[in-house]
Amino acid sequence: MTDFSTPAQFGDLQLKNRVVLAPLTRTRATEDRVPTDLMVEYYRQRANAGLILTEATVIAENAVGYEKTPGLYNDAQVQAWKKIIQAVHEQDSKIVVQLWHVGRISHPDLLSGETPVSASAIQPAGQVSLLRPKRDFVTPRALETAEVQAIVEEYRQSALLAKEAGFDGVEIHAANGYLIDQFLQTSTNQRQDQYGGSVENRARFLLEIVDAAIDVWGAGRVGVHLAPRGDSHDMGDAAPRETFGYVAEQLGQRKIAFIFTREYQAEDSISQLIKEKSGVPYIANENLNRESALALLVSGQADAVAFGRPYIANPDLYTRLVENAAWNELNVATMYAAGAEGYTDYPSLNG
């Protein structure tokens, strides 16, 4: 019977168990987006997971939408990530970096006065996360065709730096209303060029990025992060089963290492369709508890289970899952704070 402790093979990644640390923005990098020694300890504590997906990591200076999120576009960042990777590898866990461009989910104040970019010039509802005083999102600038292709190259360069740093692979962040998702879904993509209109065109940007990552890493070390429910950052798609079904088929043809979906379980969930159409290992995530996660593994509906907020509050969550031990409660107020409080000071079962 497959359970939390069963080893897994995801492409070229041999995992010691089926528990995954979900990507979690924690804003503990420097102003220059260099990972810190505090981050080394944070990831070391959680390397009981078979697979660690890093917090979303920006591919370029103009890809940002939050302060103090880490990057992977210069040598200082590469050198700092090496210490984190070593700490994870010392516990026989795998660590994959999640590569990120936020697109329209930013603000000129974070971009040296420049206007955020997107698939189309459609303003998202809502306000910019964590910036104070609060301010609304602005209307983004639609990327020119040549600019889209240049961003694909930025992903390639970041993937190359990930290899230099020693990561075990890359995950392409195509979820949660960020730039790739803005190309995928119809509510944010009204383009007339080869990146707009049909599902084949709307998925082109994602697939070109995936192909660039495969060129660097091989398919067996590339994953993709999707949010088929479209429930973040004012997203929406006219036919999500068609859109994400096509994406799944294309990723399956490429035989990537895994697909991760952030989608709570309900009658209208698309994740099982994605798993079936892709045929690649599938990581389930969102609002899972011990019982629901175990049921997904035992039934074969998921090949691994990922936890976000529970892993913030429980650095030894894998052990707690296996032993059916109680979980610490999350302090929401310190999720994006500075320093160790609410970051590396949550207690483990052994103190």
Q: Which residues are catalytic?
A: 178
298 in Cβ contact with 277 (< 8 Å): no
Looking at residue 332, its amino acid is: V
CA pair distance 36, 200, nearest whole angstrom: 40
Task: Return d(Cα 13, Cα 168) in angstroms, integer.
Answer: 8
Q: What is the distance between the alpha carbons of residues 256 and 85, in angstroms, rounded to a whole number? A: 22
- How far is residue 180's CA from residue 299's CA, in Å, rounded to a whole number? 32
CA distance 143 to 125: 20
Distance separating alpha carbons of residues 100 and 60, to the nearest angstrom: 9
CB 312 within 8 A of CB 297: no
